[in-house]
Structure 1
Amino acid sequence: MILSGSRSMGVALPGRAGSPGPLRDLFSVPALAGAVFGAAVELAAIVAAVALYPSGMGEERRRAGARAAVPDGTVSLPDLSVDSPVLLVHGLCSNRAIFHVMRRGLRQAGFRRVTVLNYSWLSDDVRSAARLLADEVERICESSGHERVHVIGHSLGGVIARYYVQRMGGDARVHTLVTLGAPHHGTLAARVPLPLRAIRQLRPGSEVLTELAEPAPGCGTRFVAFHSDLDELILPAANARLVHPDLQVRNVRVRAVGHVTLPLHHGVVGEICRTLREARVSEPLAAA
């Protein structure tokens, strides 16, 4: 796997000097070998995700912790060195179980407050799930004492989180939004004839995606969008890049990693941890 980043200005990553460009790279022996290996890993990730799905059903237990009452009845705030909370948002056909590797990696990196928003992808669409996300963010901020959180969204979860940030004032609460294989510009795979509103909202040119393309002046959230050349559900794969003139975006290209593998891949998790550590001391605490 190779990770590479670029500022989101619609600029393609450069090819190697002296080569005819991406087409030759696509059919080179290393690229084909990487694609075969990545496809095998993706199949294993899908099997693992299906096996883990039952364990992620229902709401997770709330962890104790953030603000504790002291004998005089006041509430103690966490120390400034404590990291901002991290909230994870899953995608279609998924639940909180998909983030078992991500959660472990974040906690090992020092992020002690990592929670997952479980929503129903069968009944909730982008807007209704964004409202649930807004409520959960407020709960986390109130319980932890932090004014802002980091959010990581996989697939549809990335679009839900982006809708909350751009269209519901969520940029006041979200410092960094990381998306993994999110169809920011839609995906042709969403044209499958299934009666789910959330899927229809992921079609190119949908009403939701048209809203997200509208101006967002002054949006204070930092965006990091991971996109993979082996993403079988984002068609074309480049649609997982986030390109918007008003947003602060870093696009990160991931090679030979499938859609389901993205939140499970140790290299991706490590890059996310490094990204969030950059902001570890920048967030003020909310008033008690």
Structure 2
Amino acid sequence: MLPWKRALRPLTALLLAAAVAVVPAATASADAPSSGWNDYTCRPSTAHPRPIVLVHGTFGNSVDNWLALAPYLVHRGYCVYSLDYGQLSGVPLFHGLGPIDESAGQLKVFVDKVLAATGAAETDIVGHSQGGMMPRYYLKFLGGAAKVNALVGLAPDNHGTTLNGLANLLPYFPGASDLLSSATPGLADQVAGSAFLTKLNAGGDTVPGVHYTVVATKYDEVVTPYRSQFLTGPDVRNVLLQDLCAVDLSEHVTIGVLDRIAYHEVANALDPAHATPTNCASVFQ
């Protein structure tokens, strides 16, 4: 095997691990109800007036990423929706691979659809991995700040990832970066220092009017270093799971698809007026 192919294999494998839930691939679409979510007859309540839009990660999809969090939020009285984005032709189920600026355009269309269906003025967005970072492009460049109250990111790659240094090897293999960009531009956009991330983060991490929450784990093996996930801005709350529960061993995948301690922080971010302390016992709540 050629050296550059050996370099790309672990890079792709780790990004795959970033967002694929440890469940069988689903066949439902974002337009069909999925265990209580994606129900376009749902009307937001006075207690929870904003619908929730869930944004999957790289190689994820609108169902598999949210088999735990979506029902968790529906049970708490929210109208919850999820979309597929970043699809590549001929690649079913595994999404988030297209150019991220185009994916943000898909999010814009989806948010408009949800707001029209629910009659709400704003939505809240919760995303995992790329899904916690990509909406920032929508907020900053596509008018999303006027339609979004809060963005909650679970292990978002806000400043890209070195994949424990693997991405730093790409310049040493001629053609590797070009291959990555042409075949899966959504992956190339997430490498620390990419042109996409440089544009996204220029002039500051946040935009006025949006509440930002980042929930990270120190055991993240995909978005590295994990502190690169945190945002800087006037309305930002950066949370490290292990500061809330020292024995929480969640890594990049499980923080998004299984961790109820992280979910409790999501619930707090969505309804800060009724927030309660998050700790190890939150797994039972």
TM > 0.5 fold call: yes
**Cα distance between partner residues in 2 of 1:46 and 1:123:** 12
Report the CA distance shift for 1:213/1:64 in structure 2 as closer, same or farther (over 3 A).
Answer: closer
Partner of 2:264: 270
1:179–1:226: 8 Å Cα contact kept in structure 2? yes
Does residue 220 of the first structure (1) align with residue 187 of the second (2)?
A: no
1:125–1:198: 8 Å Cα contact kept in structure 2? yes
Matches within 5 A, 1:146-185: 146-185=120-159
Aligned length: 222
Does residue 100 of the first structure (1) align with residue 76 of the second (2)?
A: no
Partner of 1:133: 107
Report the CA distance shift for 1:123/1:65 in structure 2 as closer, same or farther (over 3 A).
Answer: same
2:97–2:187: 8 Å Cα contact kept in structure 1? no
Q: Secondary structure at the match of 1:49?
A: coil
Larger Rg: 1
Partner of 2:254: 261
Give 1:201 shift.
Answer: 0.8
**Cα distance between partner residues in 2 of 1:220 and 1:269:** 23
Give 1:177 shift.
Answer: 0.2
Does residue 115 of the first structure (1) align with residue 103 of the second (2)?
A: no
Give 1:279 shift.
Answer: 6.3
Q: Which has the higher contact order (CA 8 A, sep 6+)?
A: 1
**Cα distance between partner residues in 1 of 2:57 and 2:236:** 21
Q: Percent identity?
A: 27
Which runs of 5 or more residues in structure 1 are unaligned? Answer: 1-44, 68-77, 281-288
Does residue 232 of the first structure (1) align with residue 221 of the second (2)?
A: yes
Does residue 206 of the first structure (1) align with residue 206 of the second (2)?
A: no
Runs of 4+ in 1 over 4 A off after TM superposition: 45-48
Partner of 1:28: none
**Cα distance between partner residues in 1 of 2:45 and 2:128:** 30
Does residue 65 of the first structure (1) align with residue 41 of the second (2)?
A: yes
**Cα distance between partner residues in 1 of 2:40 and 2:273:** 24
- Provide Cα deviations, 1:173-213, integer angstroms capped at 9, x if missing partner: 11010001111111012727543111111111211211222
Partner of 2:49: 83
Report the CA distance shift for 1:99/1:225 in structure 2 as closer, same or farther (over 3 A).
Answer: same
Report the CA distance shift for 1:239/1:151 in structure 2 as closer, same or farther (over 3 A).
Answer: same
Does residue 197 of the first structure (1) align with residue 164 of the second (2)?
A: no
Q: Secondary structure at the match of 1:124?
A: coil
**Cα distance between partner residues in 2 of 1:177 and 1:218:** 11
Q: TM-score, normalised to structure 2's length?
A: 0.71
Give 1:93 shift.
Answer: 1.5
- Provide Cα deviations, 1:49-104, integer angstroms capped at 9, x if missing partner: 2433x21553341524146xxxxxxxxxx664443100000011211211111011
Q: Secondary structure at the match of 1:188?
A: coil
Q: Which amino acid aligns with 2:202?
A: E
Give 1:123 shift.
Answer: 4.8
**What value does the CA root-mean-square deviation take over the aligned residues?**
2.5
- Provide Cα deviations, 1:201-241, integer angstroms capped at 9, x if missing partner: 11112112112222268521110011110001011111111
Q: Which amino acid aligns with 2:236?
A: V
Structure with more strand by fraction = 1
**Cα distance between partner residues in 1 of 2:231 and 2:27:** 29
Give 1:135 shift.
Answer: 0.4
- Provide Cα deviations, 1:31-55, integer angstroms capped at 9, x if missing partner: xxxxxxxxxxxxxx99992433x21
**Cα distance between partner residues in 2 of 1:188 and 1:48:** 19
